[in-house]
């Protein structure tokens, strides 16, 4: 136990080790967007090789989110009970074997099942990384630390489609999943030998009944749910974009896979820049103020995306609106996570798990709508993004704004 406390203190007070932790947690968290983004340019290759319809390949995106949602509900409580490292490593090994399964799949159905298992394993990295941050920092420093992680995380969507397009053109689409598996294996060794255990207040036992009670309690907390909704909704809009963009950009706008990778990377760069802007804004404003303003901008740009989707000649303003909408994610997410999780240090894993599970559940529905209503236009993607913007704004009006008004009344 003393060794664990010493490791925590070293992380908190040594800049070098703090930066190392940022990079490691950023890389672990980046596996999920890498797993989603790298194979997007290979959709046509997968469709032809597995002799299936493009809508089924799009379905492999939305079903991925099922595994993410279910996995986080399980890994969170496990990490509260057994510590952060053991469940994390278990999930990473499952991700490794599922990646190999994807690479070896001979039909679309096996491929989709392996994608679900890949997500189920990969969800451990995401939920436990957030719990590790909550173990170590207070609310303000959580937001700053998550912005730093977002800097590493933001590199993933910039480089992932280009890497995927390159691997697909040279070695075939299966090499994408072999690459993900090898990268994950390297991270397994790093986590095993270098990541300290940060959970020093483990629960004595884990009972299904108590876990369900904890989830019910969190769902009834207006503070927790209020700050969940904007992040969940805008992130779901991002995944609607991810599910629909290969068809919209490559098939509809006639971009090459390389051009698509460039556009995708530019949007990733916007998310990356926003994470650093958020750090600067936190010096002047509190997390609540930043989150509120970003929610309003995300709704406006979501409305513009839908409006521009009706006219195929307005490609440039359509792309600009998407760029701004996606950038808002890193002005909302780090702050909403910090605010929502700050009262739950004693059950950071469980709270983080519910947060992540609801995120990915909403992402499933938004991306599923894109594939289900596929009609050869940009409208399914744009409509799903607009719906997410509406949900974000409604969540703010009903749950966050009353809390702000109450604070103003108490301080006046």
Q: Where are the domains of the chain?
A: 2-411
Task: State the average pLDDT over residues 59-68.
Answer: 85
The whole-number pLDDT of residue 5 equals 43
pLDDT band of residue 408 (cuts 50, 70, 90) is low
**For 81-88, what is the mean pLDDT?**
85
Which pLDDT band, with edges at 50, 70 and 90, does 157 fall under?
A: low
Residue 412: is its pLDDT beyond 60? no
Q: Cβ distance 66 to 363 under 8 Å?
A: no
What is the CATH topology of the domain spanning 2-411? Growth Hormone; Chain: A; (1.20.1250)
Identify the band that residue 6 occupies on the pLDDT scale cut at 50, 70 and 90.
very low
Which range, 268-277, 363-372, 379-388, 389-398, has the best average confidence (pLDDT)? 379-388
CB 208 within 8 A of CB 367: no
Burial code (b: 16+ CB inside 10 Å, e: under 16) for 118-138 equals bbbbbbbbbbbbbbbbbbbbe
CA distance 180 to 151: 20
At 112-143, the pLDDT tens digits run: 999 999 999 998 888 888 778 777 776 666 66
Nearest to 122 by CA among 200, 176, 65, 182: 65
- The model's pLDDT over 22-58, given as tens digits with 9 standing for 90+, comes to 778 778 887 887 888 899 889 889 999 999 988 788 8
Residue (of 133, 162, 351) closest to 265 by Cα position: 162
The whole-angstrom separation of Cα 142 and Cα 282 is 11
Kindly report each contact of residues 315-318 with a partner whose C-beta sits within 8 Å and lies 24 or more positions away, as own/partner.
Answer: 315/253, 318/378
Q: What is the mean pLDDT of the chain?
A: 83
For residue 332, give the nearest of 386, 368, 293 by alpha carbon. Answer: 293
If one compares 399 and 390, the residue with the highest pLDDT of the two is 390
Weakest-pLDDT range from 102-106, 134-138, 273-277: 134-138
Interacting residues of 10 by C-beta distance below 8 A, sequence separation 6+ = 17
What is the spatial distance between Cα 305 and Cα 315, in angstroms, rounded to a whole number? 10
User: Burial letters for 44-65: b for 16+ Cβ neighbours within 10 Å, e otherwise?
Assistant: bbbbebbebebebbbbbbbbbb
* pLDDT at residue 394 greater than cutoff 60: yes
What number is the average pLDDT over the span 12-25? Answer: 66
Give one word for 374, left, alpha or beta, with left for phi > 0 and alpha for psi -120 to 50: beta
Q: What is the pLDDT of residue 20?
A: 76
Give residue 151's pLDDT: 64
Confidence tier at 224 by pLDDT (50, 70, 90): confident
Task: Say what the pLDDT of residue 68 is.
Answer: 84
- Among 97, 238, 95, which Cα is nearest to 154's? 238
- CA dist., res. 188 & res. 287, Å (int): 34
How many whole angstroms separate alpha carbon 152 and alpha carbon 223?
29
Lowest mean pLDDT among 97-106, 258-267, 382-391: 258-267
Measured distance CA(279)–CA(140) in Å, rounded:
10
Question: In the structure encoding, which two tokens stand for residue 76, read together?
Answer: 């969170």
Distance, in Å, from the CA atom of 393 to the CA atom of 231, rounded to the nearest integer, reads 11
- Check pLDDT > 80 for residue 109: yes
Q: Which of 86, 199, 90, 93 is nearest to 136 (CA)?
A: 199
CA dist 147 and 137 (Å) reads 13
pLDDT tens digit sequence for 190-218: 988 888 787 766 555 666 677 788 788 88
Task: Say if residues 188 and 96 touch (Cβ distance below 8 Å).
Answer: yes
Task: Tell me which of 3-12, 174-183, 189-198, 202-211 is least confident.
Answer: 3-12
What string of DSSP letters covers 147-173?
A: HHHHHHHTHHHHHHHHHHHHHHHHH-T
> How sure is the predictor about 104, in pLDDT bands with cuts at 50, 70 and 90?
very high
- φ, ψ (nearest 5 deg) of residue 344: -120, 45
């Amino acid at each position: 136990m003393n060794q664990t406390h010493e490791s925590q203190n070293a992380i908190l007070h040594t800049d070098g080790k703090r930066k190392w932790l940022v990079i490691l947690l950023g890389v672990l968290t980046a596996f999920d967007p890498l797993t989603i983004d790298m194979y997007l340019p290979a959709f046509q290759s997968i469709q032809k090789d597995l002799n299936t319809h493009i809508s089924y390949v799009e379905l492999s995106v939305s079903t991925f989110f099922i595994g993410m949602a279910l996995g986080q509900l399980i890994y969170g409580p496990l990490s509260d009970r057994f510590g952060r490292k053991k469940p994390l490593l278990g999930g990473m090994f499952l991700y490794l074997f599922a990646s190999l399964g994807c690479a070896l799949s001979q039909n679309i159905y096996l491929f989709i099942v392996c994608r679900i298992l890949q997500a189920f394993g990969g969800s451990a990295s995401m939920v436990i990384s957030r719990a590790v941050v909550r173990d170590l920092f207070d609310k303000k420093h959580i937001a700053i630390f998550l912005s730093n992680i977002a800097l590493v995380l933001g590199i993933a969507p910039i480089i992932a489609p280009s890497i995927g397009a390159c691997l697909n053109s040279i070695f075939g689409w299966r090499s994408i999943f072999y690459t993900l598996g090898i990268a994950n294996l390297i991270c397994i060794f790093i986590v095993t030998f270098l990541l300290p255990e940060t959970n020093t207040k483990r629960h004595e036992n884990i009972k299904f009944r108590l876990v369900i009670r904890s989830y019910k309690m969190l769902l009834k907390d207006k503070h927790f749910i209020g700050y969940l909704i904007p992040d969940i909704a805008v992130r779901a809009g991002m995944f609607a974009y991810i599910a629909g963009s290969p068809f919209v950009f490559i098939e509809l706008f006639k971009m090459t896979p390389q051009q698509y990778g460039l556009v995708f990377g530019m949007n990733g760069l916007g998310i990356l820049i926003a994470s650093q802007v958020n750090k600067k804004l936190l010096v002047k404003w509190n997390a609540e103020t930043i989150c509120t303003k970003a929610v309003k901008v995300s709704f406006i740009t979501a409305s513009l995306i839908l409006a521009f989707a009706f006219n195929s000649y307005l490609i440039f303003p359509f792309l600009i609106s998407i760029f701004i909408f996606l950038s808002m994610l890193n002005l909302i997410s780090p702050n909403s996570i910090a605010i929502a999780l700050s009262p739950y240090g004693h059950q950071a894993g469980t709270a983080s798990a519910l947060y992540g599970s609801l995120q990915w559940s909403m992402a499933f529905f938004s991306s599923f709508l894109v594939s289900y209503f596929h009609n050869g236009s940009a409208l399914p993607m744009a409509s799903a993004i607009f719906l997410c913007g509406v949900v974000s704004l409604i969540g703010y009006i009903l749950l966050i704004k009353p809390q702000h008004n109450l604070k103003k009344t108490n301080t006046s």
